[in-house]
Amino acid sequence: MNHGLIPYIGGKHRLANRLVEICAGTGADTFVDVFGGSAAVMLAAHGRFQKLIYNDVDGDLVNLFRTVADDAQRVKLFRALRWLPPSRKIYNDDYAKYLAGGFSFCGCKDPVERARMTFYRHCFAFGGKVRAGGFVFSQSPDHTKIKEVFRYRNCLRKLARVGALFRGAVIENQHYMDLLEMYGNKANFCFYADPPYHGTEDVYSRSFGAGDHTFLAQQLESIAGQVVCTYYDTPLIRALYPETRWNWQSISATKNSCLTRGNKQVTNEFVLTKRR
């Protein structure tokens, strides 16, 4: 099952069930998604943990999930999205507001309209690159099928299910340092961390830079809770998470941000768990 609500660059919807198995294997009763993104892993964790905590520093994402968790607001959101066509004009008008807000829709005071713009942009951004990607639609020879439209409709069908799951979760909007400081002393918590990978930081957010990999590793090493991370294998990450203190497990993953004639690239990612 594709657990994420929206397309998301670097999203873990295809790996979500496998990652939840690893997190549940720690014996923790509370799951904390430190870099929540599309919430694919947290939604897969529903029913496997007593408590769920979603966090992301991106206020647009947090507003979206708060909106879908509220029955009345979710109905308004669905009505606003239901008949919107794939439109470059709508996309570009929204992007102008996104840029004016400093890569955020924070200038919009209506939470439903802010959620509408966030949802729409994620569905139609090229390669899932929300910050800089342009409007995209399929140009396959089969003109009866525009895959982005089918994907958009499938995302709309998930709204009610995702809303119900989020009503039972805590939704945080914290920088990772503050979140780990807040909850890090809980030994019964499992912290799942899927940060921007080394060398791709600018694609996601201005709140996580190259130096943050070091700060994150130090903080994850020091907290009392269980830790599960996902990363690419680079010399820096190897140095920050040495095998003397971390278990490394290779998994195959599809790289959503790269398309070559319609074929998605398969890469090796690594799941890192802290040794006890």
Answer yes or no: are the C-beta atoms of 163 and 68 closer than 8 Å.
yes
Determine the structural domain holding residue 53 and report its residue range. 1-57+174-276
SS3 196: coil
pLDDT digits (tens, 9 = 90+) for 137-150: 776 655 556 778 88
State whether 111 and 25 are in the same domain. no
Q: Is residue 183, in this structure, part of any structural domain at all?
A: yes
Q: Give the mean model confidence (pLDDT) for residues 96-108.
A: 95
Q: Is residue 190, in this structure, part of any structural domain at all?
A: yes
Q: Is the pLDDT of residue 209 over 60?
A: yes
State whether 198 and 214 are in the same domain. yes
Q: Return mean pLDDT, the chain.
A: 89
Q: pLDDT > 90: what percent of the chain? A: 68
pLDDT value for 151: 85
pLDDT value for 272: 96
CA distance 74 to 160: 8
Q: Is the pLDDT of residue 239 over 70?
A: yes
Domain with residue 269: its CATH number is: 3.40.50.150
Where b means 16+ CB within 10 Å and e means fewer, 47-74 reads: eebeebbbbbbbebbbbbbebbbbeebb
Q: Is the pLDDT of residue 11 over 90?
A: no
pLDDT value for 1: 46
Q: Give the mean model confidence (pLDDT) for residues 121-134.
A: 87
Answer yes or no: are the C-beta atoms of 205 and 57 closer than 8 Å.
yes
Q: Is the pLDDT of residue 259 over 50?
A: no
* 191 compared with 252, residue with greater pLDDT: 191
Q: Is residue 169, in this structure, part of any structural domain at all?
A: no
Q: Last residue of a domain, which of 135, 164, 193?
A: 164
State whether 178 and 276 are in the same domain. yes
pTM: 0.90
Q: Is residue 246, in this structure, part of any structural domain at all?
A: yes
State whether 88 and 182 are in the same domain. no
Q: Give the mean model confidence (pLDDT) for residues 111-118.
A: 98
* 268 compared with 213, residue with greater pLDDT: 213
Q: Is the pLDDT of residue 241 over 80?
A: yes
* 86 compared with 193, residue with greater pLDDT: 193
pLDDT value for 166: 93
